C-alpha cells in the first residue's frame, strides 16, 4: 500500500488512541485495557479493538434472542425509525463490541436515561447471547429505502468522505470505512473488522453519533475506536457532518463482508 501523509496520520491516530498494548485473543473481552482516560467519570476501561478476531456465533440461535431488539431496530434489523441504527448486514465484530460497551455503561448517565435503554437490556445477556445476536444481524439482508431526492450538500459529503480535506486536517473516511461505506478492508489488518459499514445508514443516527464523538469524546462509550473517532470528529463542522451523513444515507447498502 502506498504511504501518504494521510495514511501516516491515520496510523499515528491509531497508535495514540490505543494507549496500551493487549495480547491477541479470541474475544474483545480479553482485550479490555486498564488504561486511565480522561472522562467525566474519571478512570475508565478501554476495549482494545486493534486485535479483535472474527466473532463466531449461532445465527439461528440469535434469531430467537432478538425479540426485544426488533422492537426498535425493525424486523431482521431493518430499522424504519431514523434515530435507531440499521443493524441488518452490519459487521458482527462491530455489533459485538457495541453490546460490550452497553454492558459496561452506567445506565444512570443522562445519555442513556434520555436516549436509549440499552445498558439494562445488554446486562441481561450472556457472552454467548451477544455473539449469537451479533452474528444473526450480520447475516441479514439490508432493506433500506433511500432518500427520494439528493440532498443539496451530497457532493460535498462525497468529497469529504472519499478525499477528506488536508488543509483542515480532515482525513478521508474511506480510509477506515471503505470506498463505498462497506466497512474497512478486512485483509489490511484485524483492527478493521470492528470498523462499521456506513452505507445506507440513517443520517439522523450518524449525525448524533458524530456530534457525540466530537463534543464529548465518544462519551459514554469506551474503546480504542472511540478515541480515534473523537480525534477525527473534532475536525468536522456541523456542515461537514450534515454533508457526510447525507451522502452515506444515499448509498445503497450491501453486505459489509
Q: What is the pLDDT of residues 142-189, one digit of tens each?
A: 987 777 778 899 999 999 999 999 999 999 999 999 999 999 888 756
Q: Is the per-residue pLDDT at 39 higher than 60?
A: no
Report the first-to-last Cα separation within the chain, whole angstroms: 21
Calpha distance 95→79 (Å, rounded):
15
Q: Is the per-residue pLDDT at 25 higher than 50?
A: no
Sorted by where each begins, the domain ranges of the chain are 5-250
Q: Tell me which of 69-73, 114-118, 138-142, 228-232 is least confident.
A: 114-118
What pLDDT, in 10s, does the model give residues 131-155?
Answer: 999 999 999 999 877 777 788 999 9
Q: Is the per-residue pLDDT at 23 higher than 60?
A: no
Q: Among the residues of 19-153, which ranges form H helices?
A: 59-63, 70-73, 92-104, 110-114, 118-123, 127-138
Cell of 106: 452506567
CB count within 10 Å of CB 54 equals 12
Whether 161 and 174 have beta carbons less than 8 Å apart is answered as yes
Whether 96 and 223 have beta carbons less than 8 Å apart is answered as no
Cβ burial, residue 38 (10 Å; 0-12/13-18/19+) = exposed
Calpha distance 222→106 (Å, rounded):
12
Closest CA to 227 of 14, 74, 42, 71: 14
What is the per-residue pLDDT for 201? 94
Span 5-250: which CATH code? 1.10.760.10
Closest CA to 204 of 68, 79, 61, 28: 79
Name the pLDDT band for 108 (thresholds 50, 70, 90). Answer: confident
Q: Is the per-residue pLDDT at 92 higher than 90?
A: yes
What residues contact 197, with CB distance under 8 A and at least 6 apart?
Answer: 89, 90, 91, 94, 177, 178, 181, 182, 183, 253, 256
Mean pLDDT in residue range 50-61? 91
- Alpha-carbon 54 to chain mean position: 16
Whether 137 and 79 have beta carbons less than 8 Å apart is answered as no
**What predicted TM-score, i.e. pTM, was given to this entire model?**
0.80
Calpha distance 120→233 (Å, rounded):
28
Calpha distance 245→249 (Å, rounded):
6
Amino acid at each position: 500500500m502506498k504511504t501518504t501523509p494521510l495514511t501516516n496520520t491515520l496510523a499515528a491516530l491509531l497508535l495514540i488512541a490505543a494507549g496500551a498494548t493487549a495480547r491477541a485473543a479470541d474475544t474483545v473481552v480479553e482485550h479490555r485495557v486498564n488504561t486511565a482516560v480522561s472522562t467525566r467519570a474519571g478512570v475508565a476501561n478501554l476495549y482494545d479493538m486493534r486485535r479483535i478476531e472474527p466473532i463466531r456465533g449461532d445465527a439461528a440461535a440469535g434469531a430467537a434472542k432478538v425479540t426485544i431488539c426488533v422492537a426498535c431496530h425493525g424486523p431482521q434489523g431493518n430499522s424504519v425509525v431514523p434515530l435507531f441504527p440499521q443493524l441488518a448486514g452490519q459487521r458482527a465484530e462491530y455489533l459485538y463490541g457495541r453490546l460490550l460497551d452497553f454492558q459496561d455503561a452506567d445506565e444512570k448517565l443522562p445519555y442513556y436515561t434520555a436516549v436509549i435503554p440499552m445498558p439494562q437490556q445488554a446486562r441481561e445477556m450472556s457472552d454467548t447471547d451477544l455473539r449469537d445476536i451479533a452474528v444473526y444481524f450480520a447475516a441479514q439482508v439490508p432493506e433500506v429505502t433511500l432518500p427520494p431526492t439528493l440532498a443539496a450538500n451530497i457532493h460535498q459529503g462525497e468529497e469529504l468522505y472519499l478525499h477528506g480535506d488536508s488543509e483542515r486536517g480532515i482525513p478521508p473516511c474511506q480510509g477506515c470505512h471503505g470506498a463505498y461505506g462497506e466497512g474497512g478492508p478486512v485483509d489490511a489488518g484485524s483492527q478493521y473488522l470492528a470498523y462499521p459499514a456506513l452505507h445506507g445508514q440513517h443520517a439522523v443516527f450518524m449525525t448524533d453519533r458524530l456530534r457525540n464523538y466530537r463534543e464529548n469524546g465518544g462519551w459514554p462509550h469506551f474503546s480504542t475506536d472511540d478515541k480515534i473517532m473523537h480525534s477525527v470528529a473534532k475536525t468536522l463542522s456541523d456542515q461537514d457532518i450534515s454533508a457526510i451523513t447525507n451522502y452515506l444515507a444515499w448509498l445503497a447498502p450491501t453486505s459489509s463482508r
